[in-house]
Amino acid sequence: MGCENVGTRFFFFFPFVLMRLIACLFAGTGSSLLLLVDAGDLEDCKELFRDVYKTVYLVGTLLKPHVAILNGITMGGGTGVSIPGTLRIATDKTVFATPETLIGFHPDAGASFFLSHLPGHIGEYLALTGETLNGKEMIAFGLATHYTYKEKLGLIEEQLGHLVTDDPSVIEATLEKYSDLTFPDNSSVFHRVETVDKCFGQDTVEEIFDALENEASKTNDPWCNSTLRRLKEASPLSLKVSLRSIREGRFQSLDQCLVREYRMTLQAISGQISHNFPEGIRARLVDKDLAPKWQPSSLEKVSEDMVEQYFSRLSESEPDLELPTKQREAFT
């Protein structure tokens, strides 16, 4: 779900859909989840995540063209209902991230699908580090289709509201009129894609650390050291399960990713393997001491059995996430 409370406003401009993400800094979602988890209210937690993931699937498989306006914070469930969309508008105020490993969780709400389909191994980099991308970088990596300035959004919405067609090419032509050409700044990770692929294309998290340390020693690039520091802030268990999740997502459809993510989420909130999720929320979003006590505390203490259990059902009787796949084509 991510660290942010992200709402979505839907405008059904027949015959297509316009979605505007309404994002605000943490204002209750994390603490509400923490209360549910601490109270052992697992059934309410399950219902919450089922509803979110079903919404992601329904929006991601809409037959109508839809336009998502990604203005401001785009994290958690907000990414799930927008990134699989037909057209995605980023702005000069857009901040995209999948920061779940920093709260002892994993990129979810379809993130293992769309991150795994990004060029090279940038998906692994974003999933494990939780680093942010701005609107220019979203365009460069294919997460957004159009870029504009926040001040133009009102005019764009007005023009879209006048359209009476479901032809994506007509909708796209309208967006092109108000879009701006852009390119990532020199400091962007976009200019380090070769290093990202070299390091984050390794088979294991341990090998990713080793590759980054080797690059840091050879190049003295501050980016390598800052990336290592970021990885060390994350839950070791989350790093390992998130890497596997992205790798599996590369060969799965959206619905298959959501079913797997739901299993992972139930393991995270149940506390059967660890209590990293409530601890991560406490440390980063509630008490904000930024000093989580991860279980296990290091990569070498994360066993293969722990990782394997993370991808299993809570019990033999626990139902998997049910999605209306027979009513719609799977997004692949």
CA distance 153 to 162: 15
pLDDT higher than 50, residue 4:
no
238 located within any domain: yes
CATH number at residue 140: 3.90.226.10
Which pLDDT band, with edges at 50, 70 and 90, does 289 fall under? very high
Domain of 233? 5-327
**Vertex 73 angle, CA 69 and 76, to 5°:** 95
Torsion from C-alpha of 253, 258, 264, 267, nearest 10 degrees: -150
What tokens appear for 18 in the block?
């316009």
pLDDT higher than 50, residue 30:
no
156 located within any domain: yes
Is the overall model pTM greater than 0.85, yes or no? Answer: yes
CB 86 within 8 A of CB 65: yes
Residue 142 CB contacts under 8 Å (≥ 6 apart), including other chains: 118, 119
pLDDT tens-place string over residues 148-182: 999 999 898 888 888 887 788 888 898 999 889 88
Average pLDDT of the chain? Answer: 87
Q: Is 206 exposed, middle or buried (0-12, 13-18, 19+ CB in 10 A)?
A: middle
235 located within any domain: yes
332 located within any domain: no
CA distance 19 to 17: 6
β-pair partners for 91:
148
Which pLDDT band, with edges at 50, 70 and 90, does 144 fall under? very high
- Give the pLDDT confidence score for residue 65 in this predicted structure: 83
Q: What percent of the chain has pLDDT over 90?
A: 59
- Give the pLDDT confidence score for residue 81 in this predicted structure: 82
In the chain, the number of structural domains is 1
Q: What percent of the chain has pLDDT over 70?
A: 86
240 located within any domain: yes
70 located within any domain: yes
CA distance 73 to 94: 6
CB 254 within 8 A of CB 112: no
User: How many other β-carbons are positioned within 10 Å of the β-carbon of residue 130?
Assistant: 24
